[in-house]
Amino acid sequence: MVTGGSLTLALYQPDIPQNAGTMLRACACLGVSAAIVEPAGFPVSDRHFRRAGMDYLDKVEIVRHVSFRAFEAWRARSGRRLVLLTTRAVQPYTDFAFRAGDILMVGRESAGAPPEAHDAADARVVVPIRPELRSLNVAVAAAMVLGEALRQTRS
Protein backbone atom coordinates (compact mmCIF):
# COMPACT_ATOMS: atom_id res chain seq x y z
CA MET A 1 0.00 0.00 0.00
CA VAL A 2 1.33 3.44 -0.90
CA THR A 3 1.03 5.73 2.10
CA GLY A 4 3.18 8.67 1.10
CA GLY A 5 0.72 10.50 -1.09
CA SER A 6 2.15 12.37 -4.02
CA LEU A 7 5.47 13.51 -2.60
CA THR A 8 8.59 12.86 -4.68
CA LEU A 9 12.21 12.72 -3.58
CA ALA A 10 14.50 13.97 -6.36
CA LEU A 11 18.20 13.10 -6.39
CA TYR A 12 20.29 15.61 -8.34
CA GLN A 13 23.14 13.75 -10.06
CA PRO A 14 23.77 11.34 -7.18
CA ASP A 15 27.40 10.37 -6.92
CA ILE A 16 27.56 7.85 -4.06
CA PRO A 17 25.69 4.64 -4.90
CA GLN A 18 25.18 3.56 -1.30
CA ASN A 19 23.44 6.84 -0.43
CA ALA A 20 21.27 6.74 -3.56
CA GLY A 21 20.28 3.16 -2.81
CA THR A 22 19.45 4.07 0.78
CA MET A 23 17.26 6.99 -0.30
CA LEU A 24 15.44 4.89 -2.89
CA ARG A 25 14.89 2.17 -0.30
CA ALA A 26 13.35 4.79 2.01
CA CYS A 27 11.09 5.94 -0.84
CA ALA A 28 9.92 2.37 -1.41
CA CYS A 29 9.20 1.80 2.28
CA LEU A 30 7.37 5.12 2.69
CA GLY A 31 5.41 5.00 -0.55
CA VAL A 32 7.12 8.05 -2.04
CA SER A 33 8.10 8.27 -5.69
CA ALA A 34 11.62 9.17 -6.75
CA ALA A 35 13.22 11.16 -9.53
CA ILE A 36 16.84 10.93 -10.58
CA VAL A 37 18.38 13.85 -12.43
CA GLU A 38 21.25 12.44 -14.46
CA PRO A 39 24.03 11.96 -15.06
CA ALA A 40 24.63 9.88 -11.95
CA GLY A 41 28.20 9.44 -10.79
CA PHE A 42 27.88 5.64 -11.08
CA PRO A 43 26.09 3.10 -13.25
CA VAL A 44 22.71 2.14 -11.81
CA SER A 45 23.77 -1.48 -12.12
CA ASP A 46 26.57 -0.76 -9.63
CA ARG A 47 26.69 -3.51 -7.00
CA HIS A 48 26.94 -0.98 -4.13
CA PHE A 49 23.82 0.78 -5.39
CA ARG A 50 21.94 -2.51 -5.68
CA ARG A 51 23.16 -3.71 -2.27
CA ALA A 52 22.03 -0.50 -0.51
CA GLY A 53 18.66 -0.59 -2.27
CA MET A 54 18.37 -4.36 -1.81
CA ASP A 55 15.29 -5.78 -3.44
CA TYR A 56 13.37 -2.57 -2.71
CA LEU A 57 14.34 -0.87 -5.96
CA ASP A 58 11.60 -2.77 -7.76
CA LYS A 59 9.09 -1.38 -5.25
CA VAL A 60 9.62 2.33 -5.92
CA GLU A 61 8.46 4.40 -8.87
CA ILE A 62 11.59 6.03 -10.29
CA VAL A 63 11.44 8.63 -13.05
CA ARG A 64 14.78 9.34 -14.72
CA HIS A 65 15.59 12.67 -16.32
CA VAL A 66 18.55 13.00 -18.69
CA SER A 67 19.28 16.52 -17.44
CA PHE A 68 18.09 19.21 -15.07
CA ARG A 69 16.43 20.92 -18.04
CA ALA A 70 14.41 17.74 -18.73
CA PHE A 71 13.52 17.51 -15.04
CA GLU A 72 12.32 21.12 -15.04
CA ALA A 73 10.18 20.53 -18.15
CA TRP A 74 8.58 17.51 -16.43
CA ARG A 75 8.03 19.52 -13.25
CA ALA A 76 6.49 22.44 -15.18
CA ARG A 77 4.03 20.10 -16.87
CA SER A 78 2.98 18.74 -13.48
CA GLY A 79 2.79 22.18 -11.80
CA ARG A 80 4.56 20.94 -8.68
CA ARG A 81 6.68 22.90 -6.19
CA LEU A 82 10.40 22.23 -5.90
CA VAL A 83 11.67 22.27 -2.31
CA LEU A 84 15.47 22.17 -2.20
CA LEU A 85 17.27 20.74 0.82
CA THR A 86 20.45 22.74 1.17
CA THR A 87 22.95 23.83 3.79
CA ARG A 88 22.70 27.33 2.27
CA ALA A 89 19.04 27.80 3.23
CA VAL A 90 17.96 29.80 6.26
CA GLN A 91 14.50 28.30 6.81
CA PRO A 92 14.52 25.18 9.01
CA TYR A 93 12.58 22.33 7.46
CA THR A 94 10.46 22.06 10.61
CA ASP A 95 9.16 25.61 10.05
CA PHE A 96 8.19 25.01 6.43
CA ALA A 97 4.63 24.16 5.32
CA PHE A 98 4.93 21.17 2.99
CA ARG A 99 2.12 20.32 0.58
CA ALA A 100 1.04 17.13 -1.12
CA GLY A 101 2.73 17.02 -4.50
CA ASP A 102 5.94 18.72 -3.37
CA ILE A 103 9.20 17.53 -4.89
CA LEU A 104 11.98 17.46 -2.32
CA MET A 105 15.38 17.65 -3.97
CA VAL A 106 18.80 16.79 -2.58
CA GLY A 107 22.05 17.72 -4.27
CA ARG A 108 25.20 15.74 -4.97
CA GLU A 109 27.05 14.57 -1.91
CA SER A 110 30.31 15.94 -3.33
CA ALA A 111 29.08 19.37 -4.44
CA GLY A 112 25.50 20.00 -3.28
CA ALA A 113 22.98 21.48 -5.67
CA PRO A 114 24.13 23.79 -8.47
CA PRO A 115 22.97 27.39 -8.96
CA GLU A 116 20.35 26.31 -11.53
CA ALA A 117 18.62 24.17 -8.88
CA HIS A 118 18.77 27.00 -6.33
CA ASP A 119 17.32 29.42 -8.87
CA ALA A 120 14.52 27.04 -9.87
CA ALA A 121 13.53 26.13 -6.31
CA ASP A 122 10.24 27.44 -5.00
CA ALA A 123 11.62 27.06 -1.47
CA ARG A 124 14.90 26.14 0.20
CA VAL A 125 15.06 24.43 3.58
CA VAL A 126 17.85 23.35 5.89
CA VAL A 127 18.29 20.80 8.64
CA PRO A 128 19.79 22.92 11.42
CA ILE A 129 23.01 21.48 12.82
CA ARG A 130 25.72 22.69 15.14
CA PRO A 131 27.53 25.65 13.55
CA GLU A 132 30.99 24.13 13.75
CA LEU A 133 29.93 21.12 11.65
CA ARG A 134 29.54 21.10 7.88
CA SER A 135 26.59 18.87 7.01
CA LEU A 136 24.70 15.64 7.52
CA ASN A 137 24.90 12.68 5.20
CA VAL A 138 22.52 13.36 2.32
CA ALA A 139 20.49 10.19 2.95
CA VAL A 140 20.03 11.11 6.61
CA ALA A 141 18.95 14.66 5.76
CA ALA A 142 16.56 13.37 3.08
CA ALA A 143 14.97 10.93 5.54
CA MET A 144 14.51 13.62 8.18
CA VAL A 145 12.88 16.12 5.83
CA LEU A 146 10.82 13.47 4.07
CA GLY A 147 9.50 12.30 7.45
CA GLU A 148 8.37 15.81 8.34
CA ALA A 149 6.80 16.36 4.91
CA LEU A 150 4.88 13.10 5.26
CA ARG A 151 3.76 14.01 8.77
CA GLN A 152 2.41 17.33 7.55
CA THR A 153 0.72 16.08 4.40
CA ARG A 154 -1.04 13.03 5.81
CA SER A 155 -4.55 13.64 7.12
**CATH for 75:** 3.40.1280.10
Per-residue pLDDT tens for 96-110?
A: 999 999 999 999 999
Number of domains in the chain: 1
Per-residue pLDDT tens for 73-90?
A: 999 999 999 999 999 999
Nearest-angstrom CA–CA distance, 61 and 135: 28
**Structural domain boundaries enclosing 96:** 8-153
In-domain check, residue 136:
yes
Q: pTM for this structure?
A: 0.92
Using alpha carbons, select from 91, 83, 82 the residue that is nearest to residue 127. Answer: 91
| Whole-number pLDDT of residue 53 | 60
| Whole-number pLDDT of residue 49 | 66
Q: Which of 48 and 140 is assigned the larger pLDDT?
A: 140
